[in-house]
Every structure is written in structure tokens, then in C-alpha cells.
Amino acid sequence: MNPQKKLAKTEIQLNRLLAEKAVISFREKHRQNNERKARTRTLIQMGGLLEITPLPSICDINLGDDLQIDHPDKAATLLGLLLHISEQIPEMAPPNDFEKFHKIGVNYLKKNAR
């Protein structure tokens, strides 16, 4: 095979590989973006649930407070409170307890539906 044909064939293979790489890269970025969006959605939903509880007011947190920059003390208090509450829940709590918590949450949401 002459060198020009060999070069042309190699360039075609290279272009195919580069196109395949671009597709794989696009799919990976799309997957990462979907994971990031799903994580963000869950964090927002957890924040909404936290807002329903009295915990923010107990920690003197108001909507609009920037807990990272302006009020790290309030963030630390809330985190400490949540960690303390978490420690009070046994690791292997009986399923009935979680069913009880579930019923309490469902009843509250039904009662306070907006």
C-alpha cells in the first residue's frame, strides 16, 4: 500500500476514534449533569422539609440568611442539633418506629397542604 493511501486510511481511523471519543465525552458530561441536577433537587427538597420543622427558628435561622458567609455560627448550631438528633436514633431502629415517623410526616403534610 502506498504511503498516501496508508496515511489517508489512518486519518479516517483517527477521525472515527475522535468522533467516538466526543460521543463518549458528551454522554459522560450528560450523565454527570443529570447526577448533579438530581443531587441538587434532593438537597432542595430536604431543605424544604427542614423549613417545615421548628429547627431553623430554634437556631435563629431566617430565610435569606447566608449560612456559609454571614452566619456560620447558626449553621454550626443547626448541624450540631441535627447530629445530636441523629445520634439519638439507634442504628437498627425497629421498622415500627420508622412506620410511626412516616405516619407522623404524612399526617402533617396532609394537614398542612398548601
pLDDT in tens, 40-92: 999 999 999 999 999 999 999 999 999 999 999 999 999 999 999 888 887 76
Give pTM, 2 decimals: 0.72
Nearest alpha carbon to residue 49 among 104, 92, 96 = 104
Grid cell listed for 35: 447526577
pLDDT tens figures, 8-43: 999 999 999 999 999 999 999 999 999 999 999 999
- Residue 75 near residue 67, CB atoms below 8 Å: yes
DSSP 8-62: HHHHHHHHHHHHHHHHHHHHHHHHHHHHHHHHHHHHHHHHHHHHHSSHHHHTT--
Whether the predicted pLDDT of 96 surpasses 70: yes
Q: Which residues contact 67 (CB under 8 A, 6 or more apart)?
A: 61, 74, 75, 78
